[in-house]
């Protein structure tokens, strides 16, 4: 038995494929049932968000598990397996554990350090519990991952790292509006915008030069974008959201104006920069809405910063004159290979230690059935011998028999104590399963040889 993760995310798949592969809440039970009904998948958790669709599984064999999970993901996406394979990643044992810990900590998110993913991991875990798709192995793994995620956010500054992608998006939008390259001279002679490939940079106060901004979506990303817009010198700020109360609260915080989604054409006519970050499943800014607003703008440039996944902005609007779309794929290319500094490194170091500790405990747990089987076998032998001894000795008073029985059982316990305690201690080290294997061979116990968990290089785990 071993742990496996097979999936695709924003690093390996285009937005369109992520959208096709997303699994709605109502469909999760069927997918879990199909997974655990296979020959090789024993336990399963399905994590499907706007940035990823992943299956975590406890499997009988590696290759059989990969085949079953990959086939299921192909059915979900509607693609042939050969076409989907190029976008899938597979992690096994310690690498799978490290990947889940990285996901729960926010290291694998498009918005590095965002905390929403921790709640999504918890929801996926509970959904599998509710459907009976999870057992002891993945329960322990996911409980540990949730604890690691909480540690990452409480003991480091990883939360702040996520602002980088929003900052870079706004920098790129500002450069587009002013007609300058990101590292070129500003038309007003001031300092150029900060290099967008550098995480944690501070945006110049006058970067947006009082330009009107429309925020669509009042969630965590929208609030972050609004705060950055204010620090960058944005002008009139309008927050459009489906729920009026949330939009009004954010508008009060940012000294802006709240509105609904019904009058977007009017708001798009006024804004120079639009930042959209809703969680909607369909397009919020379809082609006809942008086209209608563009006709009213009299040639003024409009930049649409789409931070949503699935996307909010219709890709076809790129063909409209004066309209520029900056989406997550654009930003991902800009930020490829970049890190968010010391906080990311601190979380990676934390995860490395947690993976080792988890592996030690898992190996120790794997030897437990062998120890239990050995003690059960010894108890059976002792019981048989005591029965024969009692038959040969005839009637003994209860006190004498109790003394004999206790003495024999203590001898057996003492003989077993040292090897069983020692094998449990040795099992915590890499290669510790070999000692349990030796016990099984020597005493003819039932064979069960799980795969050894090895320590991964966290830099190689996405």
Query: Which has more confidence, 84 or 429?
Result: 84
Lowest mean pLDDT among 95-104, 204-213, 237-246, 450-459: 450-459
CA-derived radius of gyration, the chain: 29
DSSP per-residue codes, 226-270: HHHHHHTT--SEEEE-SSHHHHHHHHHHHT-EEE-STTHHHHHHH
Supply the residues annotated as catalytic. 50
Question: Which band of pLDDT confidence, cut at 50, 70 and 90, is reported for residue 398?
Answer: confident
Question: What kind of architecture, by CATH, is found in domain 2-161?
Answer: 2-Layer Sandwich (3.30)
Share of the chain above pLDDT 90, in %: 48
Which CATH topology does 163-334 take? Rossmann fold (3.40.50)
Asked if pLDDT for residue 320 goes beyond 70, the answer is yes
Calpha distance 182→5 (Å, rounded): 39
Calpha distance 222→83 (Å, rounded): 35
Asked if pLDDT for residue 458 goes beyond 50, the answer is no
Q: What is the pLDDT of residue 112?
A: 76
Asked if pLDDT for residue 431 goes beyond 80, the answer is no
Question: Which band of pLDDT confidence, cut at 50, 70 and 90, is reported for residue 275?
Answer: very high
Q: What is the pLDDT of residue 139?
A: 95
Q: What is the pLDDT of residue 269?
A: 94
Max mean pLDDT among 201-215, 377-391, 446-460 falls in 377-391
Q: What is the pLDDT of residue 419?
A: 77
Is-above-0.75 flag for pTM?
no
CB atoms within 10 A of CB 70: 18
Share of the chain above pLDDT 70, in %: 84
Answer for the pair 7, 89: CB distance below 8 angstroms, yes or no: yes
Lowest mean pLDDT among 57-66, 184-193, 249-258, 308-317: 184-193
Q: What is the pLDDT of residue 306?
A: 94
């Amino acid at each position: 038995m071993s742990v496996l993760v097979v999936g695709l995310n924003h690093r390996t798949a285009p937005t369109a494929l992520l959208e096709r592969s997303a699994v709605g809440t109502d469909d999760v039970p069927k997918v879990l049932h199909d997974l655990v009904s296979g020959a090789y998948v024993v336990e399963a958790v399905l994590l499907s968000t706007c940035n990823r669709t992943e299956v975590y599984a406890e499997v009988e064999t590696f290759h059989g598990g990969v085949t079953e999970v990959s086939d299921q993901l192909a059915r979900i996406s509607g693609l042939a397996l050969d076409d989907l394979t190029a976008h899938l990643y597979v992690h096994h044992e310690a690498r799978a554990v490290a990947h889940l810990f990285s996901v729960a900590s926010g290291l694998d998110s498009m918005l590095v350090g965002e905390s929403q993913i921790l709640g999504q991991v918890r929801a996926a875990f509970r959904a599998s519990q509710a459907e009976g798709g999870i057992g002891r192995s993945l329960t322990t793994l996911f409980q540990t991952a949730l604890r690691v995620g909480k540690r990452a956010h409480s003991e480091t500054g990883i939360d702040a790292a996520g602002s980088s992608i929003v900052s870079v998006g706004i920098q790129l939008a500002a450069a587009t509006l002013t007609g300058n390259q990101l590292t070129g001279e500003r038309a007003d002679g001031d300092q150029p915008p900060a290099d967008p490939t550098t995480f944690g940079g501070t945006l110049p106060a006058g970067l947006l030069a009082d330009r009107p901004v429309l925020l669509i979506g009042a969630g965590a990303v929208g609030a972050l974008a609004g705060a950055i817009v204010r620090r960058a010198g944005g002008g009139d700020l309008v927050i459009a959201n489906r729920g009026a109360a949330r939009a009004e609260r954010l508008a009060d915080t940012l000294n802006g104006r709240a509105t609904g989604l019904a009058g977007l054409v009017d708001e798009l006519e006024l804004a120079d920069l639009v930042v959209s970050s809703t969680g909607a499943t369909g397009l919020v800014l379809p082609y006809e809405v942008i086209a209608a607003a563009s006709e009213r703008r009299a040639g003024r440039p409009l930049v649409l910063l789409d931070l949503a996944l699935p996307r909010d902005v219709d890709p076809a609007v790129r063909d409209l004159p004066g309209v520029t779309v900056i989406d997550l794929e654009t930003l991902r290319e800009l930020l490829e290979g970049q890190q968010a500094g010391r906080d990311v490194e601190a979380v990676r170091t934390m995860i490395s230690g947690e993976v080792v500790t988890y592996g030690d405990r898992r190996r120790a747990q794997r030897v437990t059935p062998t120890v239990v089987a050995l003690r059960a076998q010894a108890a059976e032998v002792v019981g048989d011998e005591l029965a024969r001894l009692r038959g040969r000795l005839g009637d003994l008073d209860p006190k004498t028999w109790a003394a004999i029985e206790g003495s024999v059982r203590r001898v057996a316990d003492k003989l077993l104590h040292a090897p069983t305690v020692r094998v449990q201690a040795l099992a915590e080290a890499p290669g510790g399963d070999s000692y349990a294997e030796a016990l099984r061979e020597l005493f003819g116990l039932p064979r069960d040889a799980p795969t050894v968990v090895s320590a991964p290089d966290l830099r190689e785990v996405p």
